[in-house]
A and B are shown apart, each in its own frame.
Chain A
């Protein structure tokens, strides 16, 4: 037992939790904490906006699997975290956010830079605390890391009044954590698992539907073994990309609104849907009543509330995906004499989905202008396996999901559930901090990049060599696409071309390498230069303005009713 202050206790607790880096922004109410950080071994990365800090912590967590940590001051600092917390909550990303708060006796008096941040973040955190007694602090931090990283992960927030940070107390960090009301269920029920095994053998046309939970749980290997040993085609959500090798013969790529035709047709035609760590989001299912209409549904998820939330499942299994699938594998092993026969039976089905994939490949027409899809394909050719790809939100994100072949987990860092424009650059910075040996590229749009471009300064000052490729069509492209399809081409408030910044000059202003490319013939060489540049670099790629993301399932439509080509859209 030593007597230290609350602020010192925070830093010591972070070190005890194995935290190596934190992202933050100082201010009046966190001065005591920053005073301790001044002489601590923890790496603190000063972002240029609190939203940058929380997204960077999020990107770090996605790319490494560790808990991301961020700090902001009270009031506006804390409220600037809100979007980032909501983003992490939607995608189940483990974060611990510390916010400063006005002193205890000033709370509730509308004090300077006071905001009820625990109240504000109630629906967008897994849990949060306002620390009123410094003696509770070590237990709360221990619980915070435990809650953030276990069960279904998520962001948590600890609000620290300034006087609590300054208060001395006898500090010891608890070794164990006990929250009687929080006991996630890790092991699937044996009877349910037996039913899964039976259904896997019985089905004639099974399909995997893999979500982000496969990556969170580290179950890619188990999925691959089951898929291969029973010849089950695989579809993935955007959050699930990388959980199964995109180049694998059984991979049909992404399903859903902008999924591949093969994936969506397989879902529509399957007789067994194996949903793993996925949550039947509307962007995936389209019209619920016609989603996998002929299928028995297995749903494996650690969160019991996800079972039958949107679509009733026939065989629900609540548990950690990796543990459950390991049990399923053991169950298959017990009946391994049946495996070969099942594989043979599946041949027609696999031939069918492969035929769909060949009949409806993701495609685009080359022209005299640069096509955004081509940019993504070239990036993959050039960096392939050594890259972590971040995206912004919109067309850039969907083209990346479609045309970049993700082979491994934690290689895609993208805002799924919340769809947060401005996420990509700070998240890429966080990912690069966590994965210093990887080439980290943010694939951006000219709209999204302007939402957090201040973080270019963070990358420069911290020598974080992230790359940004802007697919510049001078539009808020996805909104423009919807307006083209669903609002009779009334392009309301989406044209950015008139007053667009010169992104080359912007890059140079921040001390980055900046370059623009318009000619398809120069594209590859320009990307090569970008990737090989040792520091942060931005490539402004001027692309065909009118290009759309296809296929597309209109919102609320059935997955088997896709708009496949521009011609088809024109004829609608």
Chain B
């Protein structure tokens, strides 16, 4: 994690409009969202958002306080400096034909990624990992021609105890 990025994990009440409230707060207070991932938790009434934001520690603190003020926010944790496991998923559509498909396959297997679709002129690769792994794979595949790329953004979980 670069020092000017903070990872904030937020539990929110699963209401309509809650994503707008959170995202709106970022824009009106002038914070830049790097990535945002949202989904339900073990409790269907509660969603968790994992937000990576460009901010130093003081700004992250102010941001957490502002997020806490939203009535739909149950808990805000800045987990940047905590022991966490972090994953993101990416799908990458790469130009590939019979001449280089096996080369690409090798890279994919080194990264423990998966080919999830193959056509005559392209493959779709699914990769899961932390941000640096996903980025490294993307960079290796770039010379082959990336036709399309989607990333979920990071989700994190704090490790339990020692």
Contact = CB atoms under 8 A, between A and B. Distances in A.
Do these two chains really belong together in a complex? yes
A119 interface: yes
Interface of B: 13, 17, 20-21, 24-25, 28, 58, 61-62, 65-66, 68-69, 71-74
A571 interface: no
A126 B68 contact: no
Contacts of B24: 122-123
A498 to B, nearest CB: 39
Interface residues of A, number: 18
Interface stretch (A179-187, A190-198, A219-227): A179-187
Contacts of B28: 123
Contacts, number: 33
Contacts of B58: 308
B33 to A, nearest CB: 16
B21 A179 contact: no
Contact of A180 (B61, B68, B74): B74
A119 B73 contact: no
B65 to A, nearest CB: 4
Residue among B13, B24, B69, B74 with the highest chain A CB neighbour number at 10 A: B69
24 contacts: A118-B17, A122-B20, A122-B21, A122-B24, A123-B24, A123-B25, A123-B28, A126-B71, A127-B71, A130-B17, A181-B13, A181-B72, A181-B73, A181-B74, A303-B69, A304-B68, A305-B62, A305-B65, A305-B66, A305-B68, A305-B69, A307-B65, A308-B62, A309-B62
Contact residues of B: prevailing secondary structure: helix
Contacts of B74: 180-181
Contacts of A303: 69
Contacts of A67: none
Interface string A287-325: 000000000000000011101110000000000000000
A126 B70 CA distance: 8
Nearest to A152: B69
A387 interface: no
Interface in A413-445: none
Contacts of B61: 308
Contacts of B25: 123
> A-B pairs with the 6 shortest C-beta distances?
A305-B65, A127-B71, A181-B74, A123-B28, A304-B65, A305-B66
A147 interface: yes
